[in-house]
Structure 1
Amino acid sequence: MPGIVEKKCIECGTAIKGRVDKKFCSDQCRSSFNNKLNSDDTNLMRNVNNILRKNRRILLDLNPDGKSRVSKERLNARGFDFNFFTSVYKTREGAQYFYCYEQGYLAIEKDYYLLVHKKDF
């Protein structure tokens, strides 16, 4: 029949039967296509999220009461990575609290940090 265009799966090239807006011939092709599309981003995001979770867990373990003081040496010994945090809060006085989700820290005196828990999270 003239005018009928046969659609092909964008993953494997097999002819598609069914709805006109269908892009894949099977769930396997759809999954495979999306896994390839997101593989680089997914690996990076997984690694960053693992570091953030570890940082949060360390802060939580060292701050059971919601407010405590801890040395940088102790944080480093647990594997804390100061390069990864989820947000920064700057006070009017200019102090910067760094947060890993609801667990935060503030540099106070030389090589010591105040650990805090953000209650309104």
Structure 2
Amino acid sequence: MDKQCLDCGNSIKGRADKKFCDDHCRSNYNNRIKATENPQVKKINQILLKNWKILTALNPEGKTKLTKAKLIKEGYNFNYQTHNYQTKNGSNYVFCYDHGFLALENDWFLLVRNNEEG
């Protein structure tokens, strides 16, 4: 029994676990599957990634202070985050994956990086 490529349907030669005849078919198949994903999830993931990139670029040393205006200018979207962390003294850090911030007085922010694994 010949195995067939999941994308084009051509016969596959090679390893027993092979699913595609070449890289082009593998890419086409995966792109087609990804295109059918929930567009809302895709949009949110794009926003989260952009927020993370902004925080990462503005905070290369792992801790820095800057203004809210700087975050806004860079395109940071304050409506999207991955999680919050509240300290014992009540400070609320907002995170986008491993990068986050603490809102300070007068529209200043302390950017931080969580270096914990897992």
- The TM-score by the shorter chain falls in which range? 0.5 to 0.7
- How far, CA to CA, are the matches of 2:38 and 2:113 in structure 1? 29
TM-score (norm 2): 0.67
Corresponding position: 1:69 with 2:57: no
Corresponding position: 1:118 with 2:114: yes
TM-score (norm 1): 0.66
Count of residue pairs the alignment pairs up? 85
Where 2:76 maps in the other structure, the secondary structure is coil
Cross-structure match for 1:49? 45
- How far, CA to CA, are the matches of 1:57 and 1:100 in structure 2? 9
Deviations, residues 42-99 of structure 1 (Å, cap 9, x unaligned): 1000000000000000000100100000100000001100110001000111110010
Q: Gapped runs of 5+ residues in structure 1? A: 1-30
Cross-structure match for 1:95? 91
How much has 1:109 moved relative to structure 2?
Answer: 1.5
Corresponding position: 1:82 with 2:78: yes
How much has 1:110 moved relative to structure 2?
Answer: 1.2
Give the residue type in structure 1 aligned to 2:40.
L
- How far, CA to CA, are the matches of 2:93 and 2:114 in structure 1? 10
Structure whose alpha-carbon radius of gyration is higher: 1
Where 2:70 maps in the other structure, the secondary structure is helix
After superposition, the CA RMSD in angstroms is 1.6
